[in-house]
Amino acid sequence: MLPHPSANTASFIPRYYRPHLWFLGLFILGWTLILGIPTARADTNSSGLPPIDARAYILMNAQTGAIIAAKNAYRPYAIASITKLMTLYLLFKDIHAGGMQVHQEFVPCQAALETGGSSMFMHPGLRFSVAQMILGMTVPSGNDAAVEAAHLVAGSVPAFVREMNQTARKIGMLSTTYYDPDGLPHPNNTASPYDIAILTKRIMTDFPQYMHFFNHENFTYAGITSPNPNLLVGRVPFITGMKSGYTDAAGHCLVATGTQNGVQLIAVILGVPSFTDENRGFWKASWQSLKLLDWGFARTLWLPAVPHLEKTSAP
């Protein structure tokens, strides 16, 4: 009969074994030290990665796809305007295929004018170039610009969203579902940090000629100048972009890319705790991204590889 879990386990050990337990413990401890078997305590944050205050994140090498650090990286979360990275990817594909030109001009459609939330401030009859529409998405995260892009590429938002989801599956974004081209709140608009990193890597690899659109501190259109919520752009020399996002459900989110000594890294951070002051939230998201990238470059470029010391938070 097995002892009850609450019972004193020592009372069920035969008397003639008890004097030898101390020797068994010393034997196990000795071989642990000799063989160098790591303990759970030794593995805790042994990589030196600073605390990242976010629901989920991933740090990826943009050239190799290697994952350098991760936390909850394969779970889908609300992504807010990070959604626009797919909108931009499909727009770049259309431009590359000759569907439209960067300097081509249009007037906004009614659907774009009626879109709420963040805006590049499109006005009825006021012309814009495709380049301005791109900057309207990358800097002030204009929802009007995203809806306009959807209409120009696919003819309608529903048709464009179908293309977004088809493309996501095609390039391996298996934890992603798109509901709209702009990232306005909806429970079906979710992605994992890993999927977002895959998409960012594809943009950097497939369309390097358009990366300069992600590196603007400000954007002016219709007489209104909007700042980039990615506070690293224009302030940190190695930063090359890329996209911010915020809703109550998503918290503050940021995809930050950087290049040093020929190495390109992608940091995706989702769910930085929100603040009443939205600008303060983006400051914190930018700070978390900078910590992650700075650590990643140090580890990748200058620190020797020590596999048993490279454990980070579990995905």
pLDDT along the chain (315 residues), means of 10: 38 38 38 34 52 96 96 97 98 97 98 97 98 98 98 98 98 97 94 98 98 97 96 96 94 96 96 79 93 93 60 47
Confidence at residue 300, expressed as pLDDT on a 0 to 100 scale:
84
Could you confirm whether 84 is annotated as catalytic? Answer: yes
Q: Which helix (H) or strand (E) holds 91?
A: helix 84-96
Instruction: Dig out the tokens for 174 from the structure.
Output: 């298996």
Residues 219, 120: contact at Cβ < 8 Å?
Answer: yes
Q: Which helix (H) or strand (E) holds 307?
A: none
- How many residues make up the chain in this entry? 315
Q: How far apart are CA 33 and CA 28, in angstroms?
A: 9
CB atoms near residue 111 (< 10 Å): 14
Query: Pick the catalytic residue: 47, 81, 244, 289?
Result: 81
Q: How far apart are CA 135 and CA 107, in angstroms?
A: 16
Could you confirm whether 6 is annotated as catalytic? Answer: no
Residue 175, helix vs strand vs coil: coil
Query: Pick the catalytic residue: 71, 84, 201, 284?
Result: 84
Structure-token match 């590359």, residue found: 96
The candidate with the shortest Cα–Cα distance to 243, out of 183, 158, 167, 297, is 183
Confidence at residue 15, expressed as pLDDT on a 0 to 100 scale:
39
Confidence at residue 220, expressed as pLDDT on a 0 to 100 scale:
98
Query: Pick the catalytic residue: 141, 175, 244, 274?
Result: 141
Confidence at residue 303, expressed as pLDDT on a 0 to 100 scale:
63
pTM for the structure as a whole: 0.82
Domains of the chain by start residue, with CATH: 54-309 (3.40.710.10)
Could you confirm whether 119 is annotated as catalytic? Answer: no
Confidence at residue 70, expressed as pLDDT on a 0 to 100 scale:
96
Q: Which helix (H) or strand (E) holds 69?
A: strand 67-71
Q: How far apart are CA 274 and CA 252, in angstroms?
A: 6
